[in-house]
Amino acid sequence: MSVRADRVPPSLARGNPAPGRPRPAPVARRRIPPAERALSLLVFAAAMTGLLAIAIAIVTRLDPVVTYSASSATAETSVGELLITAQVSLSGPSSDRRTEARLVATDLESGSRVWTADPNGRDLPLTVLVASGGLVYAASGDGPVLVDADTGVVRPLEPPPGSTAAPALDVTGSAHDVATGRLLVLADDGEVWQVPLGGRAAEATDTATAAAWRATLAHPLDGTPVPGAGPATDARGRLVASAGCDAPLTVPTPPAAPVVGAAPADDLSGTDGSPVCPGGHAVVVGAAHGIELSPTTDTTPPTVDIARTGDGTVTRITLPGRILAAFDTDDGPGLLLENGAVVVIEAGSGTVRELAID
């Protein structure tokens, strides 16, 4: 049976209680005083600010911190001229920090990363020695590292025929002999191997070479390449690249080309009068381009003087960071700075190009 709307009792139609039931008392709404309302807003804002600060702190701790080894080399590849550097990345929360050492190849024209090689898979010392013949040679805590310059693929080092030894597990157990254009490797049995640049097979060395290098490879000088070490200079303050000694710089000059400016390291003394790298060889960076680079160590920010050996003109430029390593490119000498910036001085035009490593 349906009930017509006009026959519903007015008390029910209006939502009033049925006859005989008390009407509920109205609920009084409490008025919040302005002062109390302002205090609540302040407490909420403070809580949100605290949460934001915590989030920023977490992100900051997780953001990788990258440092560079004081070493570098340039490599001619099918994609152009690459700069090879050794990086150490520190990442993760403060309670669980993770470190990773890797080699990074950067296009010297665009500054873009071409490849990354992780030869160790963990935190071990890593330094670039030289690049030649399509290979990059580096030294690590696992011994020498050979990397394909085009692809970044790590290649194994083949021991000399008949040898049962392995490379010494020490970053100082490998060196680039500038004078002869070869890699020298200390084996775990005390023997010294040689590797012609561009090759992956080690060979036995002659007695004189082994005797001359064994002590240097087994007992390095205090200037062992480490992240944060500075560049070497000679008595005139010129930047030099060196190998097989305590100076942490490399010589990218291919062995097939004349090593312009090379001299026995004993003839090159540091600013304190001590040899740059006793028993080794050194090359004045930029000499092949008619340029000599001399850093000025008493200025902030750091600067470097660019001297043209042809006309004797000197230009001083300000750098955005401290110099870690010096190298030669097809266009002219270059500098790797501690903040990851790369400066290339073009010998022909005198233009100074700056690019950042990804």
**Residue scoring higher pLDDT (200 or 275):** 200
Does the pLDDT at position 82 exceed 70? yes
Nearest to 74 by CA among 281, 257, 328: 328
CA dist 295 and 52 (Å) reads 44
Identify the top-confidence range among 6-10, 52-56, 219-223, 233-237. Answer: 233-237
Position 192 in a domain: yes
Position 45 in a domain: no
Compute the average pLDDT of residues 344-354.
Answer: 89
Question: 């490599």: which residue's tokens?
Answer: 75
CA dist 41 and 24 (Å) reads 34
- SS3 of residue 55 by DSSP: helix
In the structure, what pLDDT confidence band is assigned to residue 113 with cuts at 50, 70 and 90? very high
Report yes or no: 127 and 138 within 8 Å, Cβ to Cβ: yes
Compute the average pLDDT of residues 199-212.
Answer: 90
Position 230 in a domain: yes
In the structure, what pLDDT confidence band is assigned to residue 260 with cuts at 50, 70 and 90? very low
Please give the residue range of the domain that contains residue 301. 65-356
- SS3 of residue 354 by DSSP: strand
Q: What is the CATH number of the domain that holds 294?
A: 2.130.10
Position 135 in a domain: yes
CA dist 48 and 244 (Å) reads 58
Position 90 in a domain: yes
Residue 26: the pLDDT is: 61
Position 60 in a domain: no
- All residues at 6 or more sequence positions from 329 whose CB lies less than 8 Å from its CB, including other chains: 74, 81, 83, 108, 344
**Residue scoring higher pLDDT (69 or 54):** 69
**Residue scoring higher pLDDT (17 or 296):** 296
DSSP run (H or E) holding 10: helix 10-13
Amino acid letter, 63: D
User: How far is CA 263 from its chain centroid?
Assistant: 29
In the structure, what pLDDT confidence band is assigned to residue 253 with cuts at 50, 70 and 90? very low
Strand partners, 76: 81
**Residue scoring higher pLDDT (2 or 185):** 185
Compute the average pLDDT of residues 332-351.
Answer: 88
Identify the top-confidence range among 213-217, 249-253, 285-289. Answer: 285-289
Least confident of 12-26, 134-148, 192-206, 283-297: 12-26
**Residue scoring higher pLDDT (324 or 260):** 324
Position 46 in a domain: no
**Residue scoring higher pLDDT (251 or 103):** 103
Position 33 in a domain: no
Q: What percent of the chain has pLDDT over 70?
A: 62
Residue 23: the pLDDT is: 63
Number of domains in the chain: 1
